[in-house]
Amino acid sequence: MDVQAIKRRFGIIGNSAGLNRAIEVAYRVAPTDLSVLISGESGTGKEVFPQIIHQFSARKHGPYIAVNCGAIPEGTIDSELFGHEKGSFTGAHESRKGYFEVADKGTIFLDEVSELPMATQVRLLRVLETGEYIRVGSSKVQKTDVRVIAATNVNIIDAITENKFREDLYYRLNTVPVLIPPLRERKEDIILLFRKFSLDFAERYRMPEITLTPQALNMLENFEWPGNIRQLKNITEQLSIIEKEREIDADTLKRYLPDYMENKLPAIIKDQENRSFATDREILYNILFDMKNDMSDLKKLVYDIISKNPEDPDYEHNTRLLKKLYPSSHELHEEHRDGNYEVNPHEQSNIEDTEEFVEESLSLQDKEVEMIRRALEKFNGRRKLAAEELGISERTLYRKIKQYNIE
C-alpha cells in the first residue's frame, strides 16, 4: 500500500516530505514487534500513527488501547497499567486487570510517556525486556505479549539530563523513532488543512463554507502555529461560527492571531550606542575601554593643573611627582605639548588600571587642595588671580575652597 492510500484510509491531510516520511516509516515498521517512539510537538497528530502501526501489523485483530499517561494520577498509574489485587490499597474492593493484561496479544499506546513516575518507568522497562509484570499488592509474576508504542511532545534527552526519565527505558522504547514535523515546517499543508476544516464545519453547522482572501492566505501560511494542527482547527471553527462574512480578509484573520505581528516584527537598532553585546567578554572590553578613556581624561586634567606655569619654582618638583604618580605621563606630556592629545580606543588595558584608578582619584584630591593653597599663597589670598593661575573660574575656586574647607 502506498502513502497516499494510507492517508485516505486514516484521514491524513498533507503532502510535505516530513509527513510522508513519517507515514512511510510507520508502515514499514508495522509488521514487526519492535517498540516505536513517536516524537513531535503538541497538536501535530501523533495519535494517528500508532493506529497505522497497529492496523498494518499481525496484531490488528487484537486489542488496541491508548493510554494518556499525563492524565492518570501518580498514585493510581501502576494500578491502571498493571492491575491490582483486592485490598492492596484503600478503595481496592476487588481485583482489577491492568491495561497490559487487557491488551495481551494486541497493542498499547502510551501517550505522553515522559509523564510516567520513575518507579513506573522501572516496571515498564521490565515489561519491555521480559514481558513480565506484577500486579499491585501481589507477588505473582504474570506474562503479557504486548506491542508498546510510545509518544512524547518533550525532548527526552533533556528529561534524561534532568533525571526525569530513565536512559535505559528511552533506548528500549526508541528502537524505531518516528518524528512528526510541526505545522510551521509544513507550509504547503496549511491551506489544505484549512479548507478541509472549513468544509467539515460548514457541513456540521449547516452554513456556507468560509474562504480567505489572498492576503489572509499569505498570513495563514506565515504564522508560526505554536499549537500546530489543533490550533489551526480551533481558529477555523471560530471563524466559521463567529464571522458573518464568508470571505475572511487579513484584518479579520489578524484578530484571531493576536501574536502574529509579534512573531514577525524585526529587531530595530537605532544607532551604535544602543546596540546589544553578544557576549560577556564584549561587554567587559567595552567597560575597560571606557575606563581607559576616563583615566586618560583624568591624567590630562592633572597635567593641566600641574604644568600650567613652567616658570613656577615648584614646576620641576610637580613634574617629578606627576611622573611618579603616573609612570606613562611622559607620553601624555609629549602629546599635550604638541597639541595633539588623543585617546586611542584600542590601547591595551590591564588590571593595574582598575587599581590605579582608586589611588589616582585620592591623589588628585590631595594635589588639588595643595595647588589651590599654593595659588592663594602666591597671590596673597586674591581669589581672582589664583583662579586665573589655576585655569578655573573664580566661582569654581570659591566652591572648591568651601568644599575642601581651605583657610
Q: Encode pLDDT of 42-100 as tens digits.
A: 999 999 999 999 999 999 999 999 999 999 998 899 999 999 998 888 888 899 999 99
Which CATH number do you get for residue 172?
3.40.50.300
In the predicted model, is pLDDT for residue 244 greater than 50? yes
305 and 333 share one domain: yes
Say yes or no: 62 and 165 in one domain.
yes
How much is the mean pLDDT over the chain? 82
At 293-314, the pLDDT tens digits run 767 766 666 666 655 556 666 6
Q: Identify the CATH number of the domain in which residue 260 sits.
A: 1.10.8.60
Rounded to an integer, what distance in angstroms lies between the CA atom of residue 131 and that of residue 50? 20
CA atoms lying within 13 Å on the CB side of residue 253: 24
Domain assignment present for residue 273? The answer is: no
Strands 141-143, 132-134: pairing is: antiparallel
Domain end point (choices 197, 231, 264): 264
Residues 248 and 292 placed together within one structural domain of the fold: no
Give the model's pLDDT for residue 356: 43
Domain count, the chain: 3
Is residue 30 located within the same domain as residue 145? yes
Using CB atoms within 10 A of its CB, is residue 183 exposed (0-12), middle (13-18) or buried (19+)?
buried
Nearest to 387 by CA among 377, 378, 397, 379: 397
How far from the centroid of its chain's Cα atoms is residue 75's Cα? 33
Radius of gyration of the chain (CA): 39
Q: Which of 151, 157, 168, 132 is nearest to 36 (CA)?
A: 151
Whether residue 243 sits in one domain with residue 151: no
Report if residue 135 sits inside a domain: yes
Q: Which of 210, 236, 264 is the last residue of a domain?
A: 264
Task: Show the domain range for 234.
Answer: 187-264
Pairwise CA distance, residues 22 & 3, whole Å: 10
204 and 175 together in one domain: no
Listed in order, strand segments (DSSP E) in 35-136 are 36-39, 64-68, 107-111, 132-134
This prediction has a pTM of 0.63
**Residue 347: inside a domain, yes or no?**
yes
> Final residue of a domain: which of 145, 165, 181?
181
**In angstroms, what CA-CA distances link 336 with 69, 303, 322?**
77, 9, 14
pLDDT above 70 as % of the chain: 74
Residues 192, 164 share a domain: no
Whether residue 26 is found in the same domain as residue 167: yes
* Statement to judge: residues 308 and 222 lie in one domain: no
Query: Same structural domain for residues 169 and 204?
Result: no
**Co-location of 385 and 362 in the same domain:** yes
| 9 shares its domain with 149 | yes
218 or 344: which leads in pLDDT: 218
**Model confidence over 263-287: pLDDT tens digits?**
454 444 444 444 444 445 556 656 7
Evaluate whether 177 touches 187 at the Cβ level (below 8 Å).
no
Angstrom distances, CA of residue 50 to CA of 89, 146, 246: 33, 13, 37
